Amino acid sequence: MIPQKELRIGNWVVDSKGASMSLSSGAQVDEFESYSPIPMSDDLLVRCGFTYQEHFKIWQKEKPAPQGGFEMQMNTDYEVCDFGKRSLGVQLTSLHQLQNLFFMLIGKDISIPNMGSSTNHDANWTSGSKFSQRS
């Protein structure tokens, strides 16, 4: 179960039938007792536009051109880092936490292409498996 105060419209969760879904109304948020979090994984970060920098052992989400730089960085334990690559003491364990933090810091929703809904817990985003670049 996800605490209701952690949910907002647009968050991706797993419903009681095992299907992934994006919350689209306040009424759905009120049904918080029937949702489970989608565990954070390297594959999810890739879907959200992060790239893994092997040399620094860090995940980075680049700002759109022409700005340059990075919107967010995380270490391999999914701890949010400052731009000196030091942990800020915030460890993300699920997709909805990433969505909420990104919105609070950047002021816009993070793009998650190809999420779609799934009833079979697609291994690409629920398994928690490590992204192939980090073997």
Q: Examine the pLDDT at 124 and tell me if it is beyond 90.
A: no
What is the b/e burial string over 24-59, where b = at least 16 CB atoms within 10 angstroms of the residue's CB?
A: eeeebbeebeebebbebbbbbbbbbbbebeeeeebb
Residue of 135 and 10 predicted with greater confidence: 10
What is the Cα 16 distance to its own chain's centre? 20
Please state the pTM of the whole predicted model. 0.83
pLDDT in tens, 27-59: 999 999 999 999 999 999 999 999 999 999 999
Reported as a pLDDT band with limits 50, 70 and 90, residue 135 is: very low
> How does DSSP classify residue 94?
B
Reported as a pLDDT band with limits 50, 70 and 90, residue 88 is: very high
